[in-house]
Amino acid sequence: MSVARSLRPSALGRLKDTYKGKGLLLPRLERHVMRSIEENPERSTHHMHPSDMAKKDWCGRHDYYRIIDTPTEKTSKANPSFRMENVFAEGHAIHGKYQQWMWEMGILVGDFQCRECGHRWGDISPKQCQFCLSERLTYKEYPLQRKTMLIQGHADAATTLDCLVEIKSIGLGTLRFDAPRLHQRYLNGESAEDIWFEINRPFPSHMRQGQLYLWLAWPLYERIVFVYEFKPTQAVKEFVVDYNKSFIEPLLETARSVTTGVAAGLPPDRPSWAEGPEGKICGSCEYRRTCWGINDTIEEAGDPTQRVNIKRTTSAKRRRGLGRSA
């Protein structure tokens, strides 16, 4: 499943640093990759997406503000970078080889697009374009959507084996976020091979994402195959998981509140972990001021220590002041 990325002003500003004095080829590659983010938006901003919903810090209220086109209030600190785009590209390449192999086997189901005429259609491992007969085709994954809910996504693949497929490239960064216990063991000196051996089930965020895909695909598909490839060694393993709606019911309940909130013009409740506008997650949200009703005329946008605290005087002091002024 591809992840949407957008190029924000501060990232655009950083492109100037690549123009000269830093090499012959790499600066040009960096500018090309970063600009391609701006020119090629990857998914709808008016839907919730399973890849976001699966994260433990997913906020339905954030998605509500995005869906109704609320203006963003600050530049995110987590801008894309050439390094991160390189990581995404590597993951995309790993996805592509498995998709190509399933295509060659004749079992790949989903949307395909012709690179000659642009025609896009649903099919099973086609050999050529339906219209222009070109063999230059691209697999556009397996689209998923529920019309009654503002949820939309793409599974990495679907197959004639009656299963969806989700391909995950597992690196040390994956362990840091999704399996901190295993990551700590690696930091303590345990080998990457031993860590890989200990992975015997999909990570929780992957489970939630997969169950959301199955919920969107039901009743056509009732199981999903996770293919894990370990980046340090290219070792591979798979996990077959059956559909279990109860696993994602809390996420669906939040998604329902977002959907009804968009229709009624009322934001859903904040998640239980939201500690306040200065919290770790809320403090970096581009909708923080709107969500928490922060008054721009009082709060300084910069250093919190420079904000002025205004305390209202008591009614007795106000009456005494009025008496003296009279």
CB 118 within 8 A of CB 148: no
pLDDT truncated to tens, each residue of the chain (326 aa)? 444 455 455 555 555 554 445 678 878 877 877 676 555 555 688 999 999 999 999 999 999 999 999 998 865 444 556 666 676 677 788 999 999 999 999 999 999 999 999 999 999 999 999 999 999 999 999 999 998 999 999 999 999 999 999 999 999 889 999 999 999 999 999 999 999 999 999 999 999 999 999 999 999 999 999 999 999 899 999 999 999 999 999 999 999 999 999 999 999 999 999 989 998 899 999 999 999 998 754 444 444 443 434 344 445 544 444 443 33
Residues 6+ apart with CB under 8 A from 89: 33
Is residue 206 classed as helix, strand or coil in its secondary structure?
Answer: helix
Residue labelled with tokens 């894309």: 80
The domains of the chain, with CATH numbers, are 1-42 (no CATH), 80-140 (2.20.28)
The SS3 of residue 159 is strand
The answer to whether 212 and 55 have CB atoms below 8 angstroms apart is no
Using the 8-state DSSP alphabet, how is residue 48 labeled? B
* Residues in Cβ contact with 297 at an 8 Å cutoff, skipping those fewer than 6 apart: none
Query: Which of 309, 286, 276, 318 lies closest to 65, judged by CA?
Result: 286
158 with 221: CB under 8 angstroms? yes
Of residues 56, 60, 63, 57, the one with CA closest to residue 4: 63
